[in-house]
């Protein structure tokens, strides 16, 4: 079987290896569609905090697949089922896991970071982390469960009020998913402060009422930061009404400091809330939402490549012009 292996320092290659084997509590899955994102670029370029990656690593943490083989102790799954698997592998025993905060499990372990990912023809996962995807859900939507669970986790943490005025900063996948998802909390309006004018059409498809590339004059109850731009984060404090909330989802880079006017934060009685990854419950909530038919993210996948075309896929991730949504490998069906 083939897999896409990253060695760090921008060295990536397709390797051919033996078919994988499973234990009694595992599933062997053939990835169908595997998205790539900025974090994959950081893994490839060794730009990520080394504590979070074990090299060499098969990348691919945003994916859906089809079951090839079911472990002897596993019930509830059959060969041919279409599934997604939680990427963060919680230990289930530490105080964070017991408290339901599995995104903060004290033993960090994640598919595509510390263990082999899904930019491959096969992947092995523990069955208890696997969820069935209904037939009405597209491969594209299913492959986007991972980034969507990240957004779900953040939105659940800030618990937006009905009728909130919402600004989303950024126009990448996380920003576009946030725009789509926030509608389930009945906002009054959703604006997007993007980086590239060419993203406007995708933003409109995500339900954005107003797309802009220069700072807004309006004030918002909730600002969701998904650009990772230090400059944008600094100024975002001034986009909030008093009592407003800033939800930080973007990464600026581990060596970049972001200046913030603390007086504005205190005078404004603002809440600055960050969110990391997703818990098991956010993942399940995301899968349930897709399976219910109340969320469709098919529009978001704009670029598709075969695994052997990885160099073009990575180059597109770096520099494909707008409109650009998710870039994905189509590996199976
Ligand atoms: Zn990602
Ligand atoms: Zn744990």
CATH number of the domain that 174 lies in? 3.40.50.720
What's the gap in Å between 177 CA and the centre of ligand 1? 12
**Structure confidence at residue 305 as a pLDDT band (50, 70, 90):** very high
Say what the pLDDT of residue 42 is: 93
- Is residue 279 assigned to a domain? no
Say what the pLDDT of residue 107 is: 95
CB 196 within 8 A of CB 203: no
CA–CA dist 79, 97 (Å, integer): 30
What's the gap in Å between 263 CA and the centre of ligand 2? 37
Residue percentage of the chain with pLDDT more than 70? 100
The string over 148-163, giving b where at least 16 C-beta atoms fall within 10 Å of a residue's C-beta and e elsewhere, is: bbbbbbbbbebebeee
pLDDT digits (tens, 9 = 90+) for 3-30: 999 999 999 999 999 999 999 999 999 9
Where do the DSSP E strands lie in the chain? 2-8, 11-16, 26-36, 57-58, 62-70, 82-85, 123-126, 130-132, 165-169, 189-193, 210-212, 220-225, 240-248, 271-274, 301-305, 326-330
* 227 and 204 part of one domain: yes
Say what the pLDDT of residue 255 is: 86
What's the gap in Å between 96 CA and the centre of ligand 2? 6
* 267 and 302 part of one domain: no
* 219 and 121 part of one domain: no
Say what the pLDDT of residue 45 is: 95
Q: Which two three-digit tokens encode residue 124? A: 């092995």
Among all ligands shown, which has an atom nearest to the Cα of 149?
1
* 29 and 72 part of one domain: yes
Query: Mean pLDDT for the chain?
Result: 97
Is the pLDDT score of 200 beyond 90? yes
pLDDT digits (tens, 9 = 90+) for 225-256: 999 999 999 999 999 999 999 999 999 988 89
The total domain count for the chain is: 2
| Ion ligand 2: protein residues whose beta carbon lies under 5 Å | 90-91, 94, 97, 105
Say what the pLDDT of residue 48 is: 86
Q: Residue range 316-321: average pLDDT? A: 95
**Structure confidence at residue 104 as a pLDDT band (50, 70, 90):** very high
- Is residue 190 assigned to a domain? yes
pLDDT digits (tens, 9 = 90+) for 24-77: 999 999 999 999 999 999 999 998 888 899 999 999 999 999 999 999 999 999
Q: Give the pTM.
A: 0.96
Say what the pLDDT of residue 49 is: 84
Domain extent for 75: 2-144+297-330
Helix axes 145-158, 280-291, angle to 10 degrees: 110
CATH number at residue 89: 3.90.180.10
Among all ligands shown, which has an atom nearest to the Cα of 102?
2
What's the gap in Å between 4 CA and the centre of ligand 2? 29
pLDDT digits (tens, 9 = 90+) for 277-292: 999 999 999 999 999 9
Say what the pLDDT of residue 302 is: 98
- Is residue 111 assigned to a domain? yes
What's the gap in Å between 317 CA and the centre of ligand 2? 33
Neighbours of 196 (CB within 10 A): 13
- Is residue 290 assigned to a domain? no
Our CA dihedral for 149, 305, 38, 176, rounded to 10 degrees, sits at: -50
**Structure confidence at residue 332 as a pLDDT band (50, 70, 90):** very high
CB 129 within 8 A of CB 27: no
* 160 and 203 part of one domain: yes
* 262 and 310 part of one domain: no
Say what the pLDDT of residue 80 is: 98
CA–CA dist 205, 236 (Å, integer): 24
* 120 and 44 part of one domain: yes
Q: Residue range 151-160: average pLDDT? A: 98
């Amino acid at each position: 079987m083939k897999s896409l292996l990253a060695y760090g320092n921008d060295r990536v290659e397709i390797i051919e290896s033996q078919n994988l084997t499973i234990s009694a509590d595992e599933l062997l899955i053939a990835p169908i569609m595997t998205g790539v994102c900025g974090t994959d670029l950081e893994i490839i370029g060794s730009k990520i905090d080394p504590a979070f990656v074990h090299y060499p690593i098969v990348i691919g943490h945003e994916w859906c697949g089809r079951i090839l083989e079911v472990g002897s102790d596993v019930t509830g799954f059959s060969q041919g089922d279409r599934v997604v698997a939680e990427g963060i592998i919680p230990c289930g025993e530490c105080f964070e896991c017991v408290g339901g905060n599995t995104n903060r499990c004290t033993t960090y372990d994640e598919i595509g970071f510390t263990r082999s990912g899904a930019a491959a023809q096969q992947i092995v996962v523990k069955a208890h982390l696997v969820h069935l995807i209904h037939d009405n859900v597209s491969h594209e939507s299913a492959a986007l469960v991972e980034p969507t669970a990240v957004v779900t986790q953040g939105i659940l943490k800030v618990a937006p009020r009905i009728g909130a005025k919402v600004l989303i900063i950024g126009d990448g996948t996380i920003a576009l998913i946030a725009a789509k998802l926030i509608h389930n909390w009945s906002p009054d309006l959703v604006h997007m402060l993007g980086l590239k004018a060419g993203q406007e059409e995708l933003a409109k498809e995500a339900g954005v009422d107003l797309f802009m590339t220069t700072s807004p004059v309006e004030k918002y109850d909730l600002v969701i930061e998904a650009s990772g731009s230090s400059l944008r984060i600094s100024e975002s404090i001034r986009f909030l009404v008093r009592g407003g909330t800033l939800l930080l989802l973007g990464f600026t880079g581990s060596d970049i400091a972001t200046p913030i006017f603390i007086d504005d934060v205190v005078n404004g009685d603002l809440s600055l809330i960050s969110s990391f990854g997703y818990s098991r419950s956010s993942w399940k909530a995301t899968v349930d939402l897709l399976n219910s038919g109340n969320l469709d993210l098919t529009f978001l996948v704009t670029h598709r490549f075969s695994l052997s075309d990885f160099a073009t896929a990575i180059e597109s991730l770096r520099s494909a012009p707008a409109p650009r949504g998710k870039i994905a490998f189509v590996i199976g069906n």
